[in-house]
């Protein structure tokens, strides 16, 4: 029996994806806005961002939480590249960086067509090594999660960065506020959240899906899943193609056809999540002040 205080079942298929005995664990609290979780399987740890506190934190099983990076430039979304290096979106410096194995930081992107990026928010790396990230204006709207500034870009884009050629291309330019993103398991689709309703009730609160053409273009954009309240921020995909997305009331699990299967109800607003643990069957959920975890019966897709 699934706990009705933890789960909402909207389709019977959800029962196979969660565990009746598993409970939501609060692993840490005390953040101002927790975001950007990334699992390091080789190191057995989770890193995430606490954006307004300008720090990144590290959680280790049985070892608690420590500061991974202070003075993080209002870091937000994180992922790893195919070599396992940390890729980070920074609001304060309006750039995407790579942390090398010696700890030094390489700037991968900070401008497009001669103008500064808005404030890179979330990032994913494709199997070909290209880096895809979103660039809404959240980090320049105030001095709380970055530094207030007028946008230099006329639009809020999704970008594809090809480090082999150095090309930075806007692959979509018609979002209100592009936010979390993830590829389907076979990388033929890209899911991108539009959280425009965060600052405008009439704005979008949906996830769009695109077909990926030749690994470098997006076509056939359409609404994949729309929420009734709250907004989608970060999202991840499991090996069966289900999309697990952040929402105002927790985590929503959506089938590849766009049907809501069920919800995990979380006591604080969820900004992002990732699959981790040695079997990638443990959700790590960044939700406002806290980091939560929950074992599930699904397996996450994530690099490397
Ligand atoms: Mg985000």
Over the stretch 47-85, which tens digit does the pLDDT of each residue have?
999 999 999 999 999 889 999 999 999 999 999 999 999
Centre of ligand 1 to C-alpha 255, Å, is 21
Strands 167-175 and 156-162: antiparallel
**32 Cα: distance to centroid of ligand 1 (angstroms):** 14
DSSP, residue by residue, 207-220: EEEEEEETTTEEEE
CA 133 to ligand 1 center in whole angstroms:
10
Distance, CA of 254 to CA of 124 (rounded, Å): 19
Mean pLDDT of 254-281: 97
CA 121–ligand 1 middle distance (angstroms): 5
Ligand 1 center to residue 208 CA distance, Å?
Answer: 15
| CA 289 to centroid of ligand 1, rounded, Å | 15
Q: How far is the CA of 96 from the centre of ligand 1 (A)?
A: 14
CA of 234 to the centre of ligand 1 (A): 5
pLDDT digits (tens, 9 = 90+) for 123-162: 999 999 999 999 999 999 999 999 999 999 999 999 999 9
Report, as an integer, the average pLDDT of 186-211.
95
User: What distance in angstroms lies between residue 76's CA and the mean position of ligand 1's atoms?
Assistant: 7
Backbone angles phi, psi at 146, to 5 degrees: 160, -150
Q: Which string of DSSP letters, residue by residue, matches 145-198? A: SS-----SSSSEEEEEEETTTTEEEEEEEEESSEEEEEE-TTSSEEEEEE-GGG
Residues that place a CB less than 5 A from ion ligand 1: 121-122, 179, 233
- Model confidence band, residue 117 (pLDDT cutoffs 50, 70, 90): very high
Contact call for residues 189 and 212 (beta carbons, < 8 A):
yes
The whole-number pLDDT of residue 1 equals: 74
Q: What is the average pLDDT value for the chain, to the nearest integer?
A: 96
CA dihedral sign of residues 205, 10, 3, 238: negative
Segment 269-296 mean pLDDT: 97
**CB atoms closer than 10 angstroms to residue 114:** 6
Residue 269 · residue 286 · CB < 8 Å: no
Q: Kindly report, residue by residue over 5-47, the tens digit of the pLDDT.
A: 999 999 999 999 999 889 999 999 999 999 999 999 999 999 9
Q: For residues 132 and 116, what is the distance between their CA atoms, to the nearest angstrom?
A: 17
Centre of ligand 1 from the C-alpha of residue 85, in Å: 20
Q: Is the dihedral of CA 35, 275, 161, 206 positive or negative?
A: negative
Distance 8 CA to ligand 1 centre (A): 24
Label residues 270-294 b or e (16+ Cβ within 10 Å = b): bbbbbbbbeebbbbbbbbbbbbbbb
Q: In this structure, are strands 34-40 and 25-28 parallel, antiparallel, or unpaired?
A: unpaired
CA 241 to chain centre: 16
Q: Are 300 and 280 in contact (CB under 8 A)?
A: yes
List beta partners, residue 167. 162
**Per-residue pLDDT for 3 more than 90?**
no
Q: Which structure tokens are listed for 165?
A: 């050629």
Distance separating alpha carbons of residues 199 and 303, to the nearest angstrom: 32
Asked if 166 contacts 108 with a C-beta cutoff of 8 angstroms, the reply is no
**pLDDT digits over 214-262, tens only?**
999 999 999 999 999 999 999 999 999 999 999 999 999 999 999 999 9
Distance from the CA of 180 to the center of ligand 1, in angstroms?
5
Does 98 have pLDDT greater than 80? yes
Separation CA 50–CA 36 (nearest Å):
8
The answer to whether 190 and 181 have CB atoms below 8 angstroms apart is yes
What's the pLDDT at 303? 56
CB 124 within 8 A of CB 108: no
| Ligand 1 centroid distance, CA of 181 (Å) | 9
Q: Distance between CA 263 and CA 66 in Å, rounded?
A: 30
């Amino acid at each position: 029996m699934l706990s009705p205080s933890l789960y909402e079942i909207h389709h019977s298929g959800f029962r196979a994806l969660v565990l009746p005995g598993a409970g939501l664990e609060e692993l840490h609290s005390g953040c101002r806005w927790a975001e950007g979780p990334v699992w390091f399987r080789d190191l057995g740890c989770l890193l995430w961002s606490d954006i307004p506190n300008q720090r990144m934190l590290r959680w280790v099983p049985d070892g608690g939480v420590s500061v991974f990076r202070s003075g993080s430039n209002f870091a937000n979304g994180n992922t790893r590249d195919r070599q396992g290096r940390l890729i980070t979106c920074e609001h304060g410096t309006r750039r995407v960086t790579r942390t090398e194995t010696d700890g030094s930081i390489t700037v991968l992107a900070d401008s497009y067509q001669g103008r500064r990026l808005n404030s890179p928010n979330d990032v994913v790396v494709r199997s070909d090594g290209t880096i895809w990230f979103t660039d809404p204006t959240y980090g320049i709207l105030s001095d709380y999660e970055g530094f207030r500034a007028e946008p230099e870009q006329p639009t809020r884009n999704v970008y594809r960065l090809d480090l082999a050629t150095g090309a930075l291309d806007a692959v979509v330019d018609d979002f209100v506020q592009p936010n979390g993103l993830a590829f389907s398991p076979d990388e033929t689709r890209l899911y991108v959240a539009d959280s425009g309703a965060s600052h405008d009730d009439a704005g979008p609160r949906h996830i769009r899906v695109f077909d990926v053409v030749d690994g470098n273009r997006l076509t056939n954009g359409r609404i994949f899943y729309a929420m009734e309240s709250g907004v989608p921020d970060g999202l991840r995909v499991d090996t069966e193609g289900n999309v697990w997305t952040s929402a105002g009331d927790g985590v929503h699990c959506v089938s590849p056809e766009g049907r809501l299967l069920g919800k995990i109800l979380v006591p604080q607003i969820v900004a992002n999540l990732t699959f981790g643990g040695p079997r990638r069957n443990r959700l790590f959920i960044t939700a406002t002040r806290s980091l939560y975890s929950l074992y599930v019966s699904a397996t996450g897709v994530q690099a490397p």
